[in-house]
Amino acid sequence: MKYYSLNHNAPKVSFQEAVIQGLASDKGLYFPETITPLNTSFFETIENLSNEEIAFEAINQFVGDEIPEHVLKEIIAETLCFDFPVVEVEKGIYSLELFHGPTMAFKDVGARFMSRCLAYFNKDKADSKNTVLVATSGDTGGAVASGFLGVAGVEVVILYPSGKVSDIQEKQLTTLGQNIKALEVDGVFDDCQDMVKKAFLDETLAHKNLTSANSINIARWLPQMFYFFFAYKALKKQNKPLVFSCPSGNFGNICAGIIAKKLGLPIEHFVASTNVNDTVPRFLESGKYDPKPSKATISNAMDVGNPSNFIRIQELYNNDLKAFEKDFSSYSYTDEETLEALKQIYNTNGYIAEPHGAVGYLGLKKELQKHDNAIGIFLETAHPIKFLDVVEPALGITLPIPTQIESVINEEKVSVKIKSYEELKAFLG
């Protein structure tokens, strides 16, 4: 499989090159040259397949022969070492729980898959290291730290906005040690992301072999399509149209869902639910893409002013706004509305959501008014414990600490504070 740059001013590359480079030389995101729908027999018999078998079918064409089949199957097995339950929250509304992995956020899947692909590509290059440079608004950092911990030949540098991630998130990305380094940036997420983008284009850093583990990297982004297949498998026997609502920040998750639909997965409609960082909802209203600086909210993993994957979604629809709007809606919610939803979900249904899932729930409820016969699924992208400072006071409860979290919570934070791109450069050396 070849990948082209969405800026159309860089050579086409293989899967391996796209994973190692992260971003194309013209700053464009990589995009697969072809997307071939899977056989209808795959969907007809999906309930007989394991998650690993489903994932292999879904991702195989994007990797091609660059990773041998038995290695790819091993990578998938290590990636999917936990459950993806679909839980009924109220009649016709399901939570797709993506938080049962090691860092309790959905990003574990992409991070685990990408780290193992990179390890495979590095296996014969004992002396040339890759540096994974990643900006996080919260969850990416922990998932990448955990996913890449101890992976040979890869050093990981994580930039996060000081004071703008939760305590648990901070512990997850600052306490592991080994090949994982955390940089605490005096600024917001967009400042971190801008520094990372600048570093990729900085020729004086070429010797560091920088790559990204944000969802701009295809190996982080593409495996996120697996969840949509798993949900379909769980709900197929109801034989109803499916509406998915994704709490969206950089729009990688929802964009992977659209790829799943292109592969033939019967999804009736997508909802991108956002907090007040509403660049995409405003785009759908006005037809004008007008990114704004990000604002801090209680759903901080979605505090993104200029969603990096939106350009991939536009490519998937050939910039045809009509076709796009048929499949896709986007709604934005304030922190007050999010807190109300958290309480309502708990008081009415006894289900403990967290702020991102609650935003997803709100968007889903709104969209379902237009789809009589459909069932709705919102992605619960993190475990409530990761946002306990919001969830506990809102619901008046105390959450038990899961074992995955207990193991980092008492470790000592190790980070380096930086203010500017120059300081990042000096750190990378």
Ligand X SMILES: *Cc1c(COP(=O)(O)O)cnc(C)c1O
Can you say whether the dihedral through the CA atoms of 75, 267, 214, 401 is positive or negative? negative
Residues 6+ apart with CB under 8 A from 70: none
Task: Give me the torsion for CA of 180, 185, 190, 196, rounded to 10°.
Answer: -50
Q: What is the DSSP letter of 298?
A: S
Residue 355 near residue 338 (C-beta atoms within 8 A) = yes
Q: Which residues of 260-277 are buried (b: 16+ CB within 10 A; e: fewer)?
A: bbebebebbbbbbbbbbb
Closest distance of CB 401 from ligand X, Å: 18
Which residue of the set 12, 107, 261, 292 is catalytic? 107
Question: What residue ranges in 253-400 does DSSP mark as E strands?
Answer: 269-274, 328-332, 375-380
Beta-ladder partners of 379: 96
The answer to whether residue 237 is catalytic is no
Name residues contacting ligand X, limited to 317-346 (CB under 6 A).
none
Q: Taking CB under 6 A as the rule, does residue 277 contact ligand X? A: no
Q: Taking CB under 6 A as the rule, does residue 382 contact ligand X? A: yes
Residue 28 near residue 8 (C-beta atoms within 8 A) = yes
How far is residue 69's CA from residue 56's CA, in Å, rounded to a whole number? 9
- Pick the closer one to ligand X by CB: 138 or 147: 138
Question: Using alpha carbons only, how large is the chain's radius of gyration in Å?
Answer: 20
Q: Taking CB under 6 A as the rule, does residue 95 contact ligand X? A: no
Closest distance of CB 382 from ligand X, Å: 4
Give first-to-last CA distance, the chain, whole Å.
34
Q: Taking CB under 6 A as the rule, does residue 107 contact ligand X? A: yes
Q: Taking CB under 6 A as the rule, does residue 136 contact ligand X? A: no
Binding-site size, ligand X (CB under 6 A)? 17
From candidates 101, 153, 249, 376, binder to ligand X by CB under 6 A: 249
Q: Taking CB under 6 A as the rule, does residue 312 contact ligand X? A: no
Phi-psi label, residue 212: left if phi above 0, alpha if psi -120 to 50, beta otherwise: beta
How far is residue 84's CA from residue 223's CA, in Å, rounded to a whole number? 14
Closest distance of CB 256 from ligand X, Å: 8
Name residues contacting ligand X, limited to 170-199 (CB under 6 A).
none
Q: Taking CB under 6 A as the rule, does residue 161 contact ligand X? A: no
- Pick the closer one to ligand X by CB: 122 or 248: 248
Q: Taking CB under 6 A as the rule, does residue 356 contact ligand X? A: yes
Closest distance of CB 111 from ligand X, Å: 11
Q: Taking CB under 6 A as the rule, does residue 105 contact ligand X? A: yes
Tokens coding 125: 């290059």
From candidates 79, 130, 248, 404, binder to ligand X by CB under 6 A: 248
How far is residue 123's CA from residue 48's CA, in Å, rounded to a whole number? 35
From candidates 5, 212, 215, 245, binder to ligand X by CB under 6 A: 215
- Pick the closer one to ligand X by CB: 215 or 332: 215
CB atoms < 10 A from the CB of 353, how many? Answer: 27
Q: Taking CB under 6 A as the rule, does residue 252 contact ligand X? A: yes
Closest distance of CB 414 from ligand X, Å: 22
Closest distance of CB 247 from ligand X, Å: 4
The single residue listed with the structure tokens 């033939």 is 264
Residue 312 near residue 215 (C-beta atoms within 8 A) = no
Closest distance of CB 41 from ligand X, Å: 30
- Pick the closer one to ligand X by CB: 269 or 312: 312
From candidates 247, 257, 363, 384, binder to ligand X by CB under 6 A: 247
From candidates 97, 108, 139, 367, binder to ligand X by CB under 6 A: 139
Which residue lies nearest ligand X, judged by its C-beta?
Answer: 139
Q: Taking CB under 6 A as the rule, does residue 250 contact ligand X? A: yes
Beta-ladder partners of 271: 245, 329
From candidates 111, 302, 364, 368, binder to ligand X by CB under 6 A: 302
CA-to-CA dists, residue 319 to 257, 277, 329, angstroms: 18, 22, 15
How far is residue 232's CA from residue 224's CA, in Å, rounded to a whole number? 14
Q: Taking CB under 6 A as the rule, does residue 62 contact ligand X? A: no
Q: Taking CB under 6 A as the rule, does residue 21 contact ligand X? A: no
Picking from 418, 19, 387, the residue whose alpha carbon sits closest to that of residue 172 is 387
Q: Taking CB under 6 A as the rule, does residue 115 contact ligand X? A: no
- Pick the closer one to ligand X by CB: 174 or 381: 381
Q: Which stretch binds ligand X (CB under 6 A): 33-41, 184-192, 242-250, 363-371?
A: 242-250
Residue 135 near residue 241 (C-beta atoms within 8 A) = no
Residue ranges in contact with ligand X by CB under 6 A: 105, 107, 138-139, 215, 247-253, 301-302, 356, 381-382
- Catalogue the active-site residues: 107
